[in-house]
Structure formats: structure tokens, C-alpha cells
Amino acid sequence: MALSATIFKANLQISDMNRNYYAEHLLTLARHPSETDERMMVRLLAFALHADENLLFSKGLCAEEEPVLWLKNLTGEIELWIDVGLPDEQRLRKACSRSTQVFLYIYGGRTADLWWQKNADKLERFSNLTVIEFPDDVCKAMTGLVQRNMQVQYTVQDGEIWLSADNQTLSLTPIVRKALG
């Protein structure tokens, strides 16, 4: 018998001073049986950083041709493709050819460093790709915030991100490995 996804509810309060974006998002997250709490929380953080009423989670790990999150315009063209993890260069090439902008959020400490060393030169040619690394210690600490019903506040200002939930606050400074252009 196949294992089914675990459903999580998340109430996000987002204050993004960089974008002048202030909103509440009520989300339902399906965590695939093979997905870790860490990856799910990185997905949630990626959503918070690009929050928009039209930003959607894709079908997830079972849909290999889709990103983790995407934003499509009214004609169905992909304006924003957001992925997390350490994909191969071919997946990123396909993403960059299909979308106006691509954001990749990597995490995993030393593993992410090795991935970046291996792929940095190949990824330089993609002018619409941004690669951002989240510090390993904060990603691991985010798993402590996981609950079936979460209330998380995200504050973004001047390159700093603060996450607050259940009297716990985490601060992180993402590392920009590759910026647009």
C-alpha cells in the first residue's frame, strides 16, 4: 500500500519591507512521504520570500517537470519558477528556458557547498537564474517549528529574514551565490 502525503496547514504573516508586501496567507501543504521537514520548511520560506496571491505550489515531488512554486501570468506563461534543493544542470537549463525568472534555494551545508563548486561555472550562462543558499544551522532549526497547524511570522528587511513561531525566533542571512544577470 502506498503511503499518502501528510497535510499541514500554515498561517503565514508576511512583512517584507524590501518589497513593501504585507499580507497573510493561509496555505495547505502536502508533504510527500519522502520529503523531510527541513525541505518542507525551505519550501515555506521560499513562498514567503516571493509571496503573491497568484504564487502556487506545484504538484510536488511527483511532478518532475514542475518547480516547487511558480507564478504564471494570465496567458499561462511561467513568469517565476522557484525550486529548492540541489538539482542537476539540465533541470535548471529547462527551467531557465521556460520561465522569465528562476530562483533556486539550496541548503544542506557542506553538500550544498560541493554542489555549488561543481555547478557554478555551468550556471553562469543563465542570465535569468538566481541561486541563494540558506545556512544549514537555520534550516535544521526550522524543523523545530513544524506542526500540523503552524502560525509563522516572516519579516524580511535589508537581506535579513526573521521567522517567529511559538515563542521561538530564528534569524538568517541568505547567501547569494548567483544573482540575476
Q: pLDDT class for 25, splitting at 50, 70, 90?
A: very high
Whole-number pLDDT of residue 181:
63
Q: DSSP 3-state assignment of 100?
A: strand
Side chain identity, residue 93 = R
Cα 96 to Cα 50, 60, 101, 124, distances in angstroms: 17, 19, 7, 12
What distance in Å separates the CA atoms of residue 67 and residue 106, rounded to the nearest whole number?
A: 14
Average pLDDT for residues 68-86, to the nearest whole number?
Answer: 96
Whole-number pLDDT of residue 145:
94
Q: Which of 54-68, 78-92, 144-158 has the lowest mean pLDDT?
A: 54-68
174: pLDDT strictly greater than 80: yes
Domains and CATH numbers, the chain: 6-178 (3.10.640.10)
Of 29, 36, 31, the C-alpha closest to 10 is 29
pLDDT tens-digit profile of 97-106?
Answer: 999 999 999 9
Whole-number pLDDT of residue 76:
92
64: pLDDT strictly greater than 80: no
